[in-house]
Amino acid sequence: MANALWFFAIIASPFIFAVAEVPVQLSFSVKTGGAIWGTPIFYRSKLMFASYDRNVFIVDAKTGSKIWSSSSENSIRAGLALCPQSNSVVDATLSGAITMRDLNSGNVLWKQQRKSYTWTFTPMCVGDFTIVPMRNDDLVVLSNKDGSELASLRQSSGVWSSPLVIQNSSRDTLQILVAVTADASVVSSVFASGAFVETSRWKYDVVPHATHYKQKLHAWIFGSPCLCLFDGISAIVFGGNDRVVRAVSALNGKELWTARVGGKVSSAAVAVPSPSSAVTYPVVATESGDVVCLGISGNIRWQYSLRQPIGSIVGPSVLGNVVVIGGMRGRLIGLDGTTGKQLFLIDLPNCNIRSSPGLYLEHATLTIAVGCDNGLLQTLKVENMQSAATTSSFPKQSLFREITQALKQEAISRKTVDVGPPQITATPIVITAVMCAISGLVLLWRRNHLRKTKS
């Protein structure tokens, strides 16, 4: 590699080996008492994450020095949910406890106990709400003020991944939620003003659509779906452990295409922007170690082999046009989202990567944080990453306009039906009057007939 930079950095006694087209350096590491499964979150000057040793950590994003840590009632496998509006963070444990803590002090603001648990499914903060997927229960919406339940999307088979939340940037609170359930189906719902407007706008069942399998299908979907744009069509894309990636219309759930990849997809799909158009392409990772970017018709645009397995819930992370992912034996790579070209490759010793990478960009320097199964949080810095500043011009609002228009049209239809009854109710009145008149005529005829008979 002509312009490759080779260097060795020492952490304690082991070595880090890196091959990159751009300068890479170790930043800092934080040791905890349990594996780190959830994606670390950079926010302003803080880096936050949770470990399996029941603790939530907030550290300085530049030095790694601890700001605070707080213990939970049980182990945490899911990631944290950042709530900027309330300056707080939410964690969910394997025992079903959901806790909101103050971002500055770590003090508990509220706590709620559920019968079910979240497993590896990360809660999400959207405005004044926190959305929590439950393993054997529901997709619940909680108030950030006191943790009270505002709404619940009932699913008898539970929700097995974090939902896709498509936010409306306008001032109204309309949100579109796309959730994957345990019975291998995808459900789209519309949420507004603290309640579900529609709990099942459309539903796509994976198993009936997978007719090309002759054997019994086990199409479990653990990864969160992503939103892409294909030639003006808003699409929901997700992968399954049946080695198939599927794209369905975000408007009605109609299947657009299916694509077979080389391994099971048990992590979230992400979207990378196209530099020349308003098209975004989905990227998925297989457990066998392949990173695959698909085109608008399901064709493979590029594919990269990590040459080592990828954890079942470890997915790619995207910042601008840079895709970053880590393997189970410590290999961390950065790829160009347009071409799939390798930008950097780093082998971390004694670190089986268990989390999707957390990414942060400042002055063309990309900071990466990953969690390891030995309780180590490792951070690195990659310089000259201007491509990470590329942003997608995805017109999300076009989808909201479509959904809003559809809702208005349905409301008009319902209103027409509601307005209709006064016109329809006039018919029974007329019929009743006619029947009364007929009855009166019959009685009059019978009376006259009886008089004639007597005479």
Mean pLDDT rounded to a whole number for the chain:
79
d(CA 342, CA 19): 10
pLDDT-derived band at 13, boundaries 50, 70, 90 = very low
Average pLDDT value for residue range 83-87: 92
Please say if the pLDDT value at position 344 is more than 50. yes
Two tokens at 236?
Answer: 């929901």
Residue ranges of domains in the chain, CATH in brackets? 32-155 (2.40.128.630)
228 close to 282: Cβ distance less than 8 angstroms: yes
Return the pLDDT at 137. 65
Return the pLDDT at 106. 95
d(CA 94, CA 100): 16
Please say if the pLDDT value at position 399 is more than 90. no
58 φ, ψ (degrees, to nearest 5): -125, 120
Return the pLDDT at 410. 53
Any idea which residue has 């809003």 for tokens?
404
Candidates 18, 20, 17; CA nearest to 2 is 20
The DSSP string of 400-432 is HHHHHHHHHHHHHHHHHHHHHHHHHHHHHHHHH
Candidates 67, 75, 69; CA nearest to 35 is 75
d(CA 125, CA 92): 13
71 close to 63: Cβ distance less than 8 angstroms: no
Q: What is the pLDDT of residues 106-146, one digit of tens each?
A: 999 999 998 877 777 788 888 888 988 887 667 888 999 99
213 φ, ψ (degrees, to nearest 5): -100, 125
Mean pLDDT check: name the lowest of 66-70, 179-183, 253-257: 179-183
Mean pLDDT check: name the lowest of 131-135, 294-298, 345-349: 131-135
Strand order of the β-sheet with 280-285 is: 270-273, 280-285, 290-294, 300-305
pLDDT higher at 197 or 253 = 253
Mean pLDDT check: name the lowest of 28-42, 151-165, 328-342: 151-165
pLDDT higher at 432 or 58 = 58
Task: Give the count of beta carbons closer than 10 Å to the beta carbon of residue 41.
Answer: 22
Two tokens at 416?
Answer: 């027409």
Two tokens at 15?
Answer: 């070595």
306 close to 291: Cβ distance less than 8 angstroms: yes
188 close to 201: Cβ distance less than 8 angstroms: yes
Return the pLDDT at 164. 86
Q: What is the pLDDT of residues 209-232, one digit of tens each?
A: 544 333 344 567 778 889 998 887
pLDDT-derived band at 402, boundaries 50, 70, 90 = low
Enumerate the β-bridge partners of residue 412. Answer: none
| H or E segment and range at residue 285 | strand 280-285
Average pLDDT value for residue range 77-87: 91
d(CA 198, CA 436): 46
Average pLDDT value for residue range 429-450: 58
pLDDT higher at 78 or 323 = 323
Question: How remote is the C-alpha of 126 from its chain's centroid?
Answer: 12
206 close to 187: Cβ distance less than 8 angstroms: no
Phi-psi region of 129 (alpha: psi -120 to 50; beta: other; left: phi over 0): beta
